[in-house]
Amino acid sequence: MLHTVPRRRAAAASAALALLALLGAPAVAAGPEDPAPWRLSAGGQCQFPAATHPGTPWALQRVMLDQLWSQSTGKGVVVAVIDSGVDAANPQLTASISEIGQDDFAPETKGRIDENGHGTMAAGIIAARPDAKTGFVGLAYDAKILPIRQNGGTDSQKGNVATLAAAIRFAVASGATVINISQETSGPEGTAPGPDLERAIRDAIDKSNVVVVAAAGNSGDKENFDTYPAKYEGVLAVGASDRNNNRTGFSQNKPYVGVLAPGVDIWSTVPKGGHCSQDGTSFAAPYVSAVAALIRSAHPNWSARQVIAVIEQTAQRGQAGSVPGSGWGVVDPLKAVSFAGTPGNAPVETLVRPAVAPPVRVDPLMSGPTRAERDRKTGTVVVAAGFAVVLLLTSGAVVLRDARGRSRA
């Protein structure tokens, strides 16, 4: 079954798939009105509602937001967040929730309910509205979020491959043009979840022109299993990068990773208000989904494959093309949205080198006297000139004296 309860180890290798969630939100202590605590993981704590994050998180500091938003804010784009639901009670998300289909996928659980926090964090990274009380905001804050609660992260609702495929179809039918999947199924090498999930992905991309973004997974430093739907052709698989633009150890080291995005110490919205921080490719993926929404808003006629090609082509990298685990590099939101021209359906290998300091320029060597010789020559000239002046003054005084003597005689 699919879980959003975060773990960094896969289930034991077996013929059956181990269905795991990505590293998600931290453990949650119950609020005063809660009958029991909502457990999300063994590490970290977050209170619902949480404290407001006053400053600007590092993942946003790396982007020139004013320049980015002068070109696109994501307006007119619907991003489906297939996850544990999205709590619209967070004031930064209330206006971001799409009014179309938000509770129709699982009416008994409601898309606007999130007992886990995972989906609310993913949604905030994409489209949290600006708030004067915090420095946190979604990269595509004008986009609309379609919350699809296919995995509640609690014992009352555990998703599986079938419900994930159904959620993808529901997102397409509801008009989403970007789908964010911060969940995964994984298993021993050579195993795959079966045809239903892949067929849903194929229909979304090839028939409906939808950008599908999926987290690559967090078992990179251990089992490093293949993960789905990230591995499927046409899906933009996202790994996690740190503050130095390096792939994190936990991020999947696989050739199908398309790009990296900030995935360490990522702050975002949580149920009932406030913000929490967590690590994982679960939160790198929505960062890229937000960029896809910005591009789709600015270039509505571009195909899904063109949007992905631009994101990969403009990523920050020091190599010519894609490398396993890091893909084409770390996503660059401003450069992606500023892409000029008509993109192809795939990125092109282009060496992007880091900036090189300008060469130090020196005066050319010349033959002639040394500086000491020039100084001695200058000193001689000065002394001679001074002597000449003294001699001239003395001679003048003698001539003037003689002339006065003759006049008195």
Q: Of 21, 20, 17, whose CA–CA distance to 194 is shortest?
A: 17
Sign of CA dihedral 226, 229, 234, 238: negative
| CA triple 299-288-174, angle to 5 deg | 65
The DSSP string of 201-241 is: HHIIIIIT--EEEEE--S-TTTT--EEETTTSTT-EEEEEE
Written as six digits, the tokens of 151 are: 């995995």
State the 10-residue block means of pLDDT for the chain, 409 residues long.
Answer: 36 32 30 31 66 94 97 98 93 92 77 91 98 96 96 73 94 97 82 91 98 96 91 98 96 97 96 94 98 98 98 92 95 97 91 51 44 54 55 52 53
Q: Phi and psi at residue 228, in whole multiples of 5°?
A: -130, 145
Q: What is the pLDDT of residue 260?
A: 98
**For residue 227, what are the β-bridge partners?**
186
3-state secondary structure of 18: strand
Q: Which residues are catalytic?
A: 83, 118, 282
Does residue 187 come out as left (phi exceeding 0), alpha (psi in the -120 to 50 range) or beta?
A: beta
229 close to 214: Cβ distance less than 8 angstroms: yes
Is pTM beyond 0.85? Reply is no
The DSSP string of 66-112 is: HHHHTT---TT-EEEEEES---TTSTTTGGGB-SSSTTTSSTTT-TT
Q: What is the pLDDT of residue 48?
A: 85
In angstroms, what CA-CA distances link 36 with 29, 39, 339?
8, 9, 49
332 close to 314: Cβ distance less than 8 angstroms: yes
Q: What is the 3-state composition of the chain as percent helix, strand, coil, each rounded to the nearest 5?
A: 30, 15, 55
Written as six digits, the tokens of 212 are: 């599908």
Work out the number of other CB atoms within 10 angstroms of the CB of residue 224: 18
Q: Of 120, 118, 56, whose CA–CA distance to 88 is shortest?
A: 120
Q: Of 233, 232, 237, whose CA–CA distance to 220 is shortest?
A: 237
Q: What is the pLDDT of residue 69?
A: 98
3-state secondary structure of 53: coil
Give the C-alpha separation, 395 to 275, whole Å.
95
Q: How many helices (H) and strands (E) does the chain have?
A: 9, 12
Q: Of 183, 174, 147, 129, whose CA–CA distance to 3 is shortest?
A: 183
